[in-house]
Amino acid sequence: MLSFFRRMIAHRFGGAIALGFVALLGLGFVLGDRAGLSGSADPVAKGDIVATVGKKTISVSDLQTAVQRDMDGYRQQQPTLDMAQFVAGGGFDATLERLIDSTAYRQYAQAQGMVVGKPAVDAVIAAQPGLTGLDGKFSQEKYEGVLRQIGMTDADVRLQTTDQILVKQLWQSPLKASQVPLQLALPYASLLLEKRAGTIGFIPSQAVPAGAVPTDAELTTYYTRNASRYRVPERRVVRYAIVNAATVGAAATPSAAEIEAAYKAQSGKYAAADLRTIVQVVVADQTAANALAAKVRAGTPIAEAAKAAGLEPVTLTDTTKTDYAAQTSPAIASAAFGGKAGDVAGPLRAPLGFIVLKVEKQRIRPATTLAAATPELTKTLTTQKTAALLTDKRNSFEDTLSKASFDGIVAQQKLTAQTTPALLATGQDVANPTAKPDPAIAPILTAAFAAHAGDSPQTVPLGQDGSFALITLNKIVPAAPRPLAQIRDLVIRDFELARAQKAVRQIAAGVVAAANKGVPLAQAFAATKLKLPPLRPIAGPRAQLLADPRAVSAPLQMLFAMPAKTTKLLEAPNNAGYLIVHLDTITSGDASGNAKVIAGTESDIGSVIGREYVAQFGKAVQNAVGTKRNALAIAKLKAQLLGGVSADDQQP
């Protein structure tokens, strides 16, 4: 049933990587894959090759680099993700297929005589928002900085951008052939309107006796089988030194000459000024403007008169003649400032009609002396100088990062180095669970978890004032289970729950068997002679399930995967017990005449069919150029990246 819908995402990470390839994620896709694919003549040992695609080979190193890069990308959204979780979620397989696809497409396009001009490649690179400067245009400096950061050359990026454009051109025909006829869409549209209702019961693990305390041998065996349950994600130790306003100190304090110069540069701000609050109304024609002006001069408040005429007044508070002239015109400003508070001026010719205005208030702001303005100017200049000095200092650091060590820079700049404990990406300290993560070092941890062992020190911005941190990755603590001695009580509790879960399963299986033989569900539950929660109804439409399966409860999902008048068993998470789901009724849907549902279904199926065609075309391209996989090398690398993680939730 809707099998191709379910195939859209086969794995948690794999589906997104595959769809990301289909969607062509701009330069992010290109920069995210810097695996250097070897020619057939390269001296690569056979055991080091995971795939041969046409005349090219993909080495173990190529694949490992690409998998690491993809995982780093996911880690930006999920900081606690580690390699084992990424591989288990399908990321490894999806990355391998993407590498094979891209290599095959490149050679196939070349064989067809397809070429991409330099202007087209330039356009793709220049269009990336992360490579624009303050003026909104492509920044060569930023582009070169990104290249240095990811260790690629301009030639690498251009080659892979060319691949991207060629693939997009090759996919045009398969993607266009995805129209869906009404006869195909209607049954699936009707399926969305189907509703199901049933009953759910629960047998908790606590409903049965806990049993004897486990022996040391039993506990050790259980812990070993379920080690992944107690696994602590990868942690990192980071050394860092903060560079902030205190670092530049007195150098940021402005001199008397600088303060005086700033005072003179802002003479208009500190000079005496005639400030007026003006209410103005823009009227389209002069006749209406004359009527409005007469009404205001007769005593009607200008805002009230404007609204009565269907117009919206605008109020400018404490504006100067110069500022007002810039917003209107010198003539209108002269009229507004030529009288006193309470005066009405207009109608006055404006670009979009006529202005009628009234001076509501007037006040004379006295001149501010240099002495009086000094505190404000000192604060502003100190902020500006601090930012400039910190920017200069960070730039000087960047120039020496590849040549100097962390300790060398710290000593030379007389900074104070600090070292974090082994922290998770979230900032949590597993060894000190009561300590709260320090939000001040969150940017430091983000950068540290994106770094690799052996990377040069780097700078990380910390605030709008220009402050930053110099950081270096000190140690990577691999993901590993916590020692049994540290969590013995927790493991005992889990062991007892698992043992109770096993007993509860036998009881629940008996209930399911009885219900499927025709015994009413309530009677089958009562026959257990256990003190159980009451049965409760469960119902919902299939559209809810297809809209967002992750937001739908497991029992409701099961309800749509079973025949009517049947009962099924569902294990509750964390050894909490077993759920028993009984389907009572199925109410079929009929989308005939429901144009909105049919159109949505046609669109959904069409997009999936388009991806199906693209996938089939990709396989055909692989066959055309010739593709061979080294299953042994692939399995070996996959096992290495998994790190020997054991299966979850093994029974004692």
Rounded to whole angstroms, the Cα distance separating 501 from 571 reads 9
Same domain, 358 and 421: no
Report the run of H or E that residue 86 belongs to, with start and end: helix 83-88
pLDDT mean over 532-542: 93
Last residue within a domain, chosen from 365, 390, 414: 365
Is 459 inside any structural domain?
yes
**Share of residues in the chain with pLDDT > 90 (%):** 40
CATH number at residue 119: 1.10.4030.10
**548 shares its domain with 628:** no
* CA neighbor of 163 nearest in space, from 69, 51, 31: 31
pLDDT digits (tens, 9 = 90+) for 337-383: 998 999 999 899 988 889 999 999 999 989 999 999 999 999 989 88
Residue 256, in any domain of the structure: no
Please report how the helices 631-642 and 60-75 are oriented relative to each other, as an axis angle in degrees rounded to 10.
40
Question: In sequence order, which residues have a C-beta less than 8 Å from that of residue 258 and are 6 or more positions away?
Answer: 381
Taking the C-alpha atoms of residue 424 and residue 421, their distance in angstroms, rounded to an integer, is 10
User: What CA–CA distance (Å, rounded) separates 471 from 331?
Assistant: 60
Q: What percent of the chain has pLDDT over 70?
A: 90
Q: Are residue 141 and residue 7 in the same domain, yes or no?
A: yes
Q: Which two tokens stand for residue 370?
A: 């240099």
Instruction: Summarize the confidence of residues 520-543 as an average pLDDT.
Output: 93
| 529 and 607 together in one domain | no
Same domain, 361 and 394: no
| Angle, vertex CA 529, rays to CA 524 and CA 533, nearest 5 | 75
pLDDT of residue 172: 75
pLDDT tens-digit series, residues 148-160: 766 678 888 888 8
- pLDDT tens digits for range 308-328: 988 989 999 999 998 899 888
Range of the domain at 242: 235-248+379-477
Residue 328 pLDDT? 87
Residues 532 and 553: their CA atoms lie apart, in Å, by 21
Same structural domain, 75 and 28: yes
What average pLDDT does the segment 255-279 reach? 89
528 vs 511: CA distance, rounded Å: 8
Q: How far apart are CA 446 and CA 455, in angstroms?
A: 15
Same domain, 493 and 624: no
Asked whether residue 303 falls in the same domain as residue 390, the answer is no
Determine which of 165-179, 194-208, 485-499 has the lowest per-residue pLDDT on average: 165-179
Place of tokens 């693939």: 167
How many structural domains compose the chain?
Answer: 4
Kindly report, residue by residue over 191-248, the tens digit of the pLDDT.
888 899 999 999 999 888 878 889 999 999 999 999 988 999 999 999 999 998 888 8
**Tokens 């009607």, residue?**
300
Could you tell me if residue 259 is inside a domain? no
Beta bridge partners of 470: 241, 459
Look at residue 15 and tell me whether its pLDDT is greater than 70: no
Residue 645 has pLDDT above 80, yes or no: no
Is 153 within a domain? yes
Q: Read off the CATH number of the domain in which 292 is found.
A: 3.10.50
pLDDT (0 to 100) of residue 20: 39
pLDDT at 176: 67
- From CA 483, how far away is CA 49, in angstroms rounded? 38
Q: What is the 3-state secondary structure (H, E, C) of 282-326?
A: EECCHHHHHHHHHHHHCCCCHHHHHHHCCCCCEEEEEECHHHHHH
Same domain, 409 and 542: no
Residues 172 and 242 in one domain: no
Strand order in 314-319's β-sheet?
314-319, 273-283, 353-365, 344-350
pLDDT of 651 > 60? The answer is: no
Q: What is the pLDDT of residue 177?
A: 64
Instruction: Give residue 125's Cα distance to chain centre.
Output: 22
Residue 615: inside a domain, yes or no? yes
Give the pLDDT confidence of 61-101 residue by residue, as tens digits.
999 988 988 888 887 777 778 888 889 888 999 999 989 98
Residue 506 binned pLDDT confidence (cut-offs 50, 70, 90): very high
Residues 16 and 136 in one domain: yes
Same domain, 143 and 211: no
Of 340, 365, 390, the position where a domain reaches its end is 365
